[in-house]
Amino acid sequence: MSNSSRLPALTHTTVAGASAWFAALRDADFLFHPEDDPADIICLTTGAALFAKSEVAELRMSLAKLDAAIGQANIIDAACPVFMGALGLPCDA
């Protein structure tokens, strides 16, 4: 049994690190809005939870680390271009 995570690791708790992490989440098809609880994210094709309980904990921990280091507003600013770009929309942040 493997203990490797499906999620990209948060390697730097800076705005640039947050942006890179959100881009890595996007590239892995795990991008979600940082104001949403990862436990609430579902797969649209199946209706099942996208993240396992351990992944929810991992994502919450990464978001908490970012919040402590750069604050919620900077997390949103880092995620906006990635999130909106994934939707094909401009980021006005």
- Helices (H) then strands (E): counts for the chain: 3, 0
Residue among 90, 75, 79 at smallest CA distance from 26: 79
Which pTM does this prediction carry? 0.89
pLDDT (tens digit per residue) in 9-66: 999 999 999 999 999 999 999 999 999 999 999 998 999 999 999 999 999 999 999 9
Helix pair 72-87, 15-27: axis angle to 10 deg? 30
Phi-psi region of 32 (alpha: psi -120 to 50; beta: other; left: phi over 0): beta
